[in-house]
Structure 1
Amino acid sequence: MVLRPPSGGEFRFDPGALWLDLLVSGGPGELAGFETLHTPADLAAWTKLSRLRLDPARVHVTAAELAAAVRLRDRLWELAWALIRGGPVGPELAAVVDEAAAGPPPAPRLRVTGHGFRREWTLPVTGTQLLSAVARDVIDVLTGPYADRLRECGGVRCGLVFLDTSRPGSRRWCSMERCGNRSKVRALRERRAPDAG
């Protein structure tokens, strides 16, 4: 994903999972300032940016489905924070995920390419199918090999959340070109500060 923060500029960010793609669209509390899901068309547009890579014109979202998506996303933030910070995960959070996952997800399609195969999705897709795909991804991630690799960016006042799928499991930044570089510059300044006197 290419993110354009309110402070300006842009950078590439790979959250590592579909459900974490959704978290980039905004959230509760202080994250409300980053809200991007204002209309059903906004949720349809998000699908093109997400790892689903859908054609927004073929994604049909109702106002009720948009409201359900925002509610699910905000609860997924609670889940992510609990997992990252070692807090308790209540059964009500699992119930929210289970409810969304119970619906039918988008149906995959096999496409033959010149070099093999590619997965695509049967269109059109509804908002309910999107929520099912997101919720099923939560279940896959939290019961899979990277279940303990949910991370919050180590950048000052960043807060982006990602799944660390690196081989050593040592990813620290949302993006090296943003928070990684800022941290290196800050560390260099701190090392040089005593020499300046």
Structure 2
Amino acid sequence: MRVTSRVDAHTGQWFESSDGVKWWFDSGSLALDFAYTGGLGAADGRIDEPWEFLHSTADLDDWLAGRLPASPSSDRDIADAHALRGAITRLALSRSRDLPLAGTDIDLVNLYGATPDVPPRLDGGSRQAGRTEPRAAQALSTIARDAIALFDTSASGRIRACDGDGCSLIYLDTSRGGTRRWCSMQRCGNRHKVRAHRERHARTATGPGQAETVTRGSNAT
């Protein structure tokens, strides 16, 4: 017997970069994962390039299915999803840059969070309490409540942008020591390791004297 939590969803999702490489990005937060369905940034980390995963109610249903299963969404739900996602996006960008959070976005997240969410449920009973499936609006409320916890001042120092060159993906650092630096070790973390290895190899191969000769020769040309 177990309790199914209000937020019993994993975090993280597969992305595909502009060069066709697929990689796993765990933002550390359900709300941030939701923001990355559009608006917050392209899969290659360029936040100035708009993209969109939620074109229709079917797209919203598919995204929720693996996280917060709900009954089919309506046109109103997809409009609400876009509005909530926009507020979360702007708050995440501000928090990652140590900028003040806009009151209008806070109000919007609070508004969605104040509506009924997906309730916890104790498995193993013989009767069904309430609806067999939550509504999509309840799933959105659950995401909003996750965002409220995410943007609380106690977590402000943990919302960061990736240290990778040219990457601006934002994540919640949930590591024990607060030492996470990369959007993904498969991607920017690995790129950093490869670059560092090549630099060490180059220094070892040339040596101080040879490196100086190469530098002088380059300057001469």
> Under a length normalisation based on structure 1, what TM-score does the superposition of the two structures give?
0.81
Mapped contact 1:24–1:160 kept (Cα < 8 A)? no
Which of the pair has more CA radius of gyration?
A: 2
Mapped contact 2:95–2:151 kept (Cα < 8 A)? no
Number of aligned residue pairs: give it.
182
Mapped contact 1:146–1:164 kept (Cα < 8 A)? no
Mapped contact 1:66–1:127 kept (Cα < 8 A)? no
Query: Equivalents in 2 of 1:87, 1:163: separation in Å?
Result: 16
Choose which of 167, 172, 179 in structure 1 pairs with 2:176: 167
Query: Equivalents in 2 of 1:108, 1:17: separation in Å?
Result: 19
Deviates more, 1:186-195 or 1:173-182: 186-195
Mapped contact 1:97–1:138 kept (Cα < 8 A)? yes
Displacement of 1:69 after TM fit? Answer: 0.8
Q: Cα deviation per residue 1:132-154 (whole Å; 9 max; x = unaligned)?
A: 11111111233375342111112
Query: Equivalents in 2 of 1:180, 1:97: separation in Å?
Result: 32
Q: How does 1:52-67 map to 2 (within 5 A)?
A: 52-54=67-69, 58-67=70-79
Query: Equivalents in 2 of 1:79, 1:123: separation in Å?
Result: 33
Opposite residue 111 of structure 1, the aligned amino acid is D
The equivalent of 2:16 in structure 1 is: 4
Query: Equivalents in 1 of 2:192, 2:60: separation in Å?
Result: 33
Choose which of 86, 91, 95 in structure 2 pairs with 1:74: 86
Displacement of 1:186 after TM fit? Answer: 2.4
**CA separation of 1:53 and 1:96: change in aligned 2, threshold 3 A:** closer
- Give the % identical residues: 38
**CA separation of 1:139 and 1:67: change in aligned 2, threshold 3 A:** same
The equivalent of 1:117 in structure 2 is: none
Choose which of 6, 26, 31 in structure 2 pairs with 1:19: 31
The equivalent of 1:137 in structure 2 is: 146
Q: Which has the higher contact order (CA 8 A, sep 6+)?
A: 2
Displacement of 1:48 after TM fit? Answer: 3.2
Query: Equivalents in 2 of 1:172, 1:162: separation in Å?
Result: 10
Deviates more, 1:86-95 or 1:163-172: 86-95
Gaps of 5+ in 2: 1-12, 41-46, 125-130, 215-221
Displacement of 1:37 after TM fit? Answer: 0.4
Q: Cα deviation per residue 1:9-68 (whole Å; 9 max; x = unaligned)?
A: 2222221111011022111673423x110001111111134xx353xxx43211121122
- Aligned pair 1:89/2:107, yes or no? no
- Aligned pair 1:110/2:122, yes or no? yes
Q: What RMSD, in angstroms, separates the aligned Cα atoms of the two structures?
A: 2.3
Q: How does 1:150-161 map to 2 (within 5 A)?
A: 150-161=159-170
Q: Cα deviation per residue 1:108-139 (whole Å; 9 max; x = unaligned)?
A: 22236xxxxxxxxx742322112211111111
Opposite residue 68 of structure 1, the aligned amino acid is D
Deviates more, 1:59-68 or 1:170-179: 59-68
Deviates more, 1:172-181 or 1:58-67: 58-67
Displacement of 1:190 after TM fit? Answer: 4.0
Bigger strand share: 1
Mapped contact 1:103–1:129 kept (Cα < 8 A)? yes
Query: Equivalents in 2 of 1:82, 1:103: separation in Å?
Result: 25
Displacement of 1:104 after TM fit? Answer: 0.5
